[in-house]
Amino acid sequence: MWLVLLKRLGSFAVTLAAASVLVFAVLELLPGNAAQVILGDSATPESLAALEARLGLDRPALQRYLEWTGGLLRGETARSLSYDTPTAELLAERLAVTLPLALLAMALTLLLGLALGLYAAARHRRLGDVGAMALSQLGIAIPNFWFAILLILLFAVQLQWVGAGGFPGWRQEDGGGLWPGLQALLLPALALAAVQAAILARVTRSAVLDVLREDFVRTARAKGLSRRQALLGHVLRNAMIPVLTVAGLQFANLVTGTIVVENVFVLPGIGRLVFQAISNRDLVVVRDVVMLLAALVVAVNFVVDLAVAWIDPRVRLA
């Protein structure tokens, strides 16, 4: 197990290093710079050069890359050009919305996907199986931003059960609280979870059916276990290996998918931050947001690899 952990940590570090090079290089290739956006088209060459020097844009790219990565390793970040605030503070403030939204969407994905997949597998080639798979196909076909608009029309406009957008905050003194905050995130989380739950349901059904055909399941049934007991006691753990792998990738998709959904529901999260930063050409914020998302994706995959190694002894022995 320790060898698996060391290998995954090494892969984690190499992937992050490669991602940092790629992110920096892509943003460097974009035309123009922040100084031109701040001063506008009417700026003189002298004022443009002075602002570039103040922002550090006149230094070589390699020097700026080493300063950026060195600051990240020390826990220091640059100041946003449009907010005049360290990007770490901006990200921490926005993650207080995006991270609970992604976790709530992941919880709904697991709940709906596993339940629908197990239900379909337990009723293989029967009406329940056909209906569950038809529902999952419909979920895959619906774009999450369009589903988000439908949810707003139904629950906010027609039924008026929740607000159409915005976020009240987590603190009661600011007019929010835990329950109002969760209410504001429920529809966005459902919009994000719909597609992922449909995919997970199909993966779960396929994995469970594969395990049900194994010899040890037939042996368990021959010893007197009911189909439900064999399914929950023997099949589910063995079927969780591909399900966990897909679920880890889905959590990464949920975090990055908040960029669209947060703009639909006007939530002050990472999605709106990166959208505003792109509009203002604040590449300092864009660079750190993309790097944060890359680190989250790699970290989730790292945790999933460890979970698979814990569930399946063959991975540890290999």
Does any domain span residue 285?
yes
List the structure tokens of 91.
Answer: 């990200």
Burial class for 209, CB neighbours closer than 10 Å (0-12, 13-18, 19+): middle
Asked whether the predicted pLDDT for residue 252 surpasses 90, the reply is no
The beta strands (E) that lie in 154-271 are given as none
- The whole-number pLDDT of residue 317 equals 57
Mean pLDDT of 244-268: 84
DSSP string, 91-116: HHHHHHHHHHHHHHHHHHHHHHHHHH
Instruction: Select the more confidently predicted residue: 111 or 281.
Output: 111
Q: What are phi and psi of 268, to 5 degrees?
A: -80, 65
State which amino acid sits at residue 52: E
Does any domain span residue 159?
yes
Mean pLDDT of 253-270: 85
Does any domain span residue 37?
no
Q: Which helix (H) or strand (E) holds 250?
A: helix 236-264
- The whole-number pLDDT of residue 32 equals 62
Contact 70, 275 (CB under 8 A): no
Asked whether the predicted pLDDT for residue 31 surpasses 80, the reply is no
CATH number at residue 179: 1.10.3720.10
What is the DSSP secondary structure assignment for residue 156, as one 8-state letter?
I
- Closest to 137 measured CA to CA, from 208, 205, 199, 207: 199
Does any domain span residue 33?
no
Residue 29, number of CB atoms within 10 A of its CB: 7
- Cα–Cα distance between 80 and 90 in angstroms, integer? 9
Angle at 296 between CA 143 and CA 150, to 5 degrees: 20
Instruction: Select the more confidently predicted residue: 53 or 313.
Output: 53
* pLDDT band per the 50, 70, 90 thresholds, residue 104: very high
Asked whether the predicted pLDDT for residue 128 surpasses 80, the reply is yes
* pLDDT band per the 50, 70, 90 thresholds, residue 280: confident
Does any domain span residue 43?
no
Does any domain span residue 200?
yes
Least confident of 11-25, 37-51, 52-66: 37-51
Does any domain span residue 87?
no
Structural domains in the chain (count)? 1
Contacts 24+ apart (CB under 8 A), 87-91: 87/284, 87/285, 87/288, 87/289, 88/288, 90/273, 90/285, 91/270, 91/273, 91/288, 91/289, 91/292
Q: What is the pTM of this model?
A: 0.81
Provide the domain limits for residue 185.
94-317
- The whole-number pLDDT of residue 189 equals 92
Does any domain span residue 219?
yes
